[in-house]
Amino acid sequence: MDEFKEFPEILKNLRKSYKLTQIEVAEQLGIAYQSYQAYERGIALPNLKNFVKLADIFDVSLDYLLGRKEY
């Protein structure tokens, strides 16, 4: 998962900037809170469908979520 090492921190910063809780984001994704928490802890990665949903929730590109470029 080294190629995604920035993802957990980016995700956490976006969530906080939108003033959402982990539970709220998990509900929007339709997943368990613990699954979302694993994304922010760098233990697991979302599937492609949830990567796209996260980009939509936070109004960023997939490249940005993956730490590839700015907004």
Express each pLDDT in 55-64 by its tens digit.
Answer: 999 999 999 9
The whole-number average pLDDT for the span 2-16 is: 90
CATH number of 2-65: 1.10.260.40
Q: What are phi and psi of 28, to 5 degrees?
A: -65, -30
pLDDT of 9 above 70 = yes
Indicate the domain borders of the chain: 2-65
Q: What is the pTM of this model?
A: 0.90
pLDDT at 1 over 90: no
Q: For residue 15, how many other CB atoms are within 10 A of its CB?
A: 20
pLDDT for 4: 78
Report pLDDT digits (tens) over 16-54.
Answer: 999 999 999 999 999 999 999 999 999 999 999 999 999
